[in-house]
Amino acid sequence: MFLHGTSRVNENGHLEIGGVDTIALANEFGTPLYVYDVALIRERARSFKHAFENMGVRAQVAYASKAFSSIAMFQLIDEEGLSLDVVSGGELYTAIKSGFPASRIHLHGNNKSVAELKMALDHEIGCIVVDNFYEIELLKDLSHNYSKKIPVLLRVTPGVEAHTHDYITTGQEDSKFGFGLLNGQIEDAIDSVLQSDGIHLLGIHCHIGSQIFDTAGFVLAAERVFEKIKEWKLQFSYTPEVVNLGGGFGIRYTDEDEPLPATYYVEKIVEAVKKQVNELNINMPEIWIEPGRSLVGDAGTTLYTIGSKKTVPNIREYVAIDGGMTDNIRPALYQAKYEAVLANRVTDKHEQPVSIAGKCCESGDMLIWDLPLPEVKPNDILAVFCTGAYGYSMANNYNRIPRPAVVFVENGEAQLVVKRESFEDLVVNDLPLKSKVSNQ
Ligand SMILES: Cc1ncc(COP(=O)(O)O)c(C=O)c1O
Ligand SMILES: N[C@@H](CCCC[NH3+])C(=O)O
C-alpha cells in the first residue's frame, strides 16, 4: 500500500490525511471529494526553493497553476514565497482575486487575446512569456499605452523530445508552442523585440514536457539554449537576465514510476547552466523553473463512494463510483494509472482485483483497471492517490455531473476551499427558449 506525506492508517483502520480521518471528511463534505495534504505541498515547495538556495543561485520557482488552481491554492503558494505561472485570463483573474503579488506572476499561452494581455499589463505582472510573432506585434501595439517597458521571456522549442506521453510532450520541434530554436525563428523574434522601445527582453524560456523521470532532457535543453546564447552574444550583444527551463518533473503514481527528488533535478539543471556560463564567460542568469505536478500531484487524494457492481463471469468485476472522467479525465485521456485503497478498511486483506468504473455514459470512463481490493460493499469509500495535479483542474460537466468539492487538510483541521457544484450551478448560464418566457 502506498502511503505518503501525512497519510497514515488510524486506530479505526481508516485512511487519515493531515491528521484528519478521511471517512469523517466524506461524511462532512460528501463525495467525490478532492483532499489536499497541505503540509506535503509546503514540503515540496520548500525543497525546490532550498535546492536553489543551496546551489547559491538566484532563482524563481513558479508554480504552474494549471495543475490545480483555486484562490486558496494561490494563497498557499504565496505563503511559501513561490511565483505563479498562469496561462489564461481565467487563471490570471483567479491569481489577482487571491491577492497574489502581481510582480511574481508570469503569463503563458500560445494564443493570448488582446484582453488577456491588457489584463496582465494593467496589473503590471512580472513577465509575459511570448509564444509567437503575432503576440510580439500585439505587445508592440499595446506598449504605446503603457509607460513601463513590458518585461518578456521568449519561449523556444529546443528540439528535445522528453520521454513521456505524446500528448504531453511540448519541447520537440514540431510543436504548437514557441519559437523554433534551431530554425532561425528565435533570432528573428529577438531582433524584433530588441528593436522595440516598449518591450524589455528579460530572457528565454523553454519547457520540454511533463512527467519526466530523468535529468538528461533538461540538461540537453539547457545546453542547446546556451549554445544559442553564445551566438546571440555576438550577433545582438545580448545575454539573457533570466533563463526559464520550465517544469515537467515526474511523480510517482504507481510502482512503475521512479521519480527523482526535486533537489536532484535542480542540482543537475544548475550544474549544466553553471558549466555553460563559465564556458561563455557571461553573467550567471537567474534560473527559473515551473513545476506543477511535482508540487501538488501526490498531495491530492480523491474520495469516492462505491455504488453498483457488475460481474462479467470469468472475465472481470466492475465496481462503480460516484465520479469518474468528469473529475479525473487522465485515465481516459492518457491511459494514466493510479493506486487506490478502501479508505474505511485500509488494512483488510486484498481478496480480488476489481475494475473501477466511473458513472458517465461512456465505456471509456474507467478509472482503474484490475485494482486489488478487499471485497467491496456499497458505501465503502475509495481513496485514489496522487490525483492532485490535472485532476480537479481538468474536471468537466459531462452528463451534467457537478464538479466535486475540494478540501485542504493540515494539522488535524479540514478547510473547504472549493465548494461542490450544485445542480443550480449547472443551469445558471442556461437561457430558456424565447417562446417559453412569459411576459411579466
Ligand atoms: C510551459 C509549461 N510550464 C510548466 C508546466 C508544468 O508541467 P508539470 O506539471 O509537468 O511540472 C507545463 C506543463 O507541461 C507547461 O506547459
Ligand atoms: N494535463 C497533463 C499535463 C499537461 C501539461 C501542461 N503543459 C497531464 O495530466 O498529465
Summarize pLDDT for 141-164 with one digit per residue, the tens.
Answer: 999 999 999 999 999 999 887 766
Closest CA to 104 of 144, 67, 75: 75
Q: How far apart are CA 89 and CA 138, in angstroms?
A: 16
361 is catalytic: yes
Mean pLDDT of 183-203: 97
* Pocket-forming residues, ligand 2, beta carbon under 6 Å: 66, 168, 170, 210-211, 330, 334, 390
Count the neighbouring beta carbons within 10 Å of the beta carbon of residue 1: 12
Q: What is the per-residue burial (b if ≥16 Cβ within 10 Å, else e) of 72-104?
A: bbbebbbebebbbbbbbbebbebbbebebebeb
Query: Do 425 and 405 meet the contact criterion of CB atoms below 8 Å apart?
Result: no
Please tell me the distance between residue 226's alpha carbon and the centre of ligand 1 in angstroms.
Answer: 21
Q: How far apart are CA 33 and CA 361, in angstroms?
A: 21
Give the pLDDT of residue 352. 85
* Pocket-forming residues, ligand 1, beta carbon under 6 Å: 64, 67, 85, 108, 170, 207, 210-211, 246-249, 290-294, 389
- Domain ranges for the chain: 8-37+297-427, 108-291
- Residue 165 reports pLDDT greater than 80: no
Model pLDDT for residues 261-273, shown as the tens digit of each residue: 989 999 999 999 9
Which pTM value belongs to this model? 0.96
- Residue 2 reports pLDDT greater than 90: no
248 assigned binding-site residue: yes
* CATH topology agreement for domains 8-37+297-427 and 108-291: no
Query: Do 28 and 373 meet the contact criterion of CB atoms below 8 Å apart?
Result: no
CATH 3.20.20.10 fits 108-291, yes or no: yes
Give the up-direction half-sphere exposure of residue 8: CA atoms within 13 A in the CB hemisphere.
Answer: 8
Q: Ligand 2 atom closest to Cα of 330?
A: 9
Please tell me the distance between residue 306's alpha carbon and the centre of ligand 1 in angstroms.
Answer: 33
The type of residue at 19 is G
99 assigned binding-site residue: no
Q: 482575486: which residue's cell?
A: 97
Q: Counting ligands in written order, which one lies closest to the CA of residue 213?
A: 1
CATH superfamily of this structure's domain 8-37+297-427: Lyase, Ornithine Decarboxylase; Chain A, domain 1 (2.40.37.10)
Give the pLDDT of residue 440. 55
Partner residues linked to 244 by β-bridges: 205, 288
- Residue 331 reports pLDDT greater than 70: yes
Model pLDDT for residues 216-263, shown as the tens digit of each residue: 999 999 999 999 999 999 999 999 999 999 999 999 999 999 999 989
Give 380: exposed, middle or buried? Use CB within 10 Å, 0-12, 13-18, 19+: buried
- Asked if the interface predicted TM-score (ipTM) of this complex is over 0.90, the answer is yes
Count the neighbouring beta carbons within 10 Å of the beta carbon of residue 210: 25
